[in-house]
Chain A
Amino acid sequence: MTELLKWDFTERWQEKWADWMKPGGHGALADVRNSNLAWTPLVKPLSECTVMLLTTCGVHLRAQKPFDVMKEDGDWSPREIPSDTQPDQLMITHTHYNHLDADNDVNCVFPIERLPELRDEGLINSVAATHIGMMGWVPNPIVTVRDTIPGIVAKAKTEGVDIALLTPG
């Protein structure tokens, strides 16, 4: 078992946050903070859980409409990706990070082939039938919360998801 380290919001990190939020900086596009962090503890063993991937890496099926990376306010529409999709049926449309590695092996950002391995090992019970692909560049993510998340939650509840693993690009 990998032992994770404690992370502290040190002065260095606080300075990085201040830089991020400077006028003209990326963070200043929208100051969005969760005033209340909801919390759902696991009520059953991990080995009995169903897990869904929710990624903002810009992955979608080649057959689906690509994300609109030219839209000034971003594209917060979701793409449903069947979890039995083969990697060669996937592509990434995202212009805000380097996805050269992920173009070669999508598991770098969207571990669609790794999750079934952990199921087969017995770490989790099952993989959700559907994963969700999104494109993370949305300057004001309030619209994502308003328009996109309710549908994703409804889909996840229908499929009995216990844990959503969120991976960025």
Chain B
Amino acid sequence: MEESGISTMSLTAHPHITKMVGAPRSIYMRFPQGNLVGQAHNPEQQNSILRAALEAVVTIEETGTILEYPERWRGSLRSSRA
């Protein structure tokens, strides 16, 4: 996609794999698979993650960059397992 002029941003739960496979821009989410854009029915959190991902498309200047989202998953709030 990048070769075709489209900038990409990936979310990842496995930054070591992302690092070795290679992706232009990535954000490591310390969230479980199935929730990388946040908790169910938590639009504020989902909005924050999406916003951070898009803003980082502007700020990341080097291909292969992986950044980390500062918030950690709070498992007790997982709606489907509560």
Contact = CB atoms under 8 A, between A and B. Distances in A.
Given A13-B15, A33-B20, A42-B57, A104 B41 contact: yes
A39 B65 CA distance: 11
Contacts of B35: 101-102, 108-109
A166 B24 CA distance: 11
A167 B47 CA distance: 14
Interface string A38-51: 11111001100001
Contact of B37 (A6, A42, A107): A107
A46 B53 CA distance: 12
Contacts of B24: 37-40
A20 B51 contact: no
Interface of A: 1-7, 9, 13-14, 16-17, 20, 27, 32-34, 37-42, 45-46, 51, 57, 97-105, 107-111, 113-115, 117-118, 123-124, 149, 152-153, 156-157, 161-169
Interface of B: 1-13, 15-17, 19-24, 27-28, 32-41, 43, 46-58, 61, 63-64, 66-70, 78-81
Given A163-B9, A168-B13, 7 more contacts: A2-B51, A2-B70, A39-B2, A40-B2, A40-B8, A114-B50, A153-B6
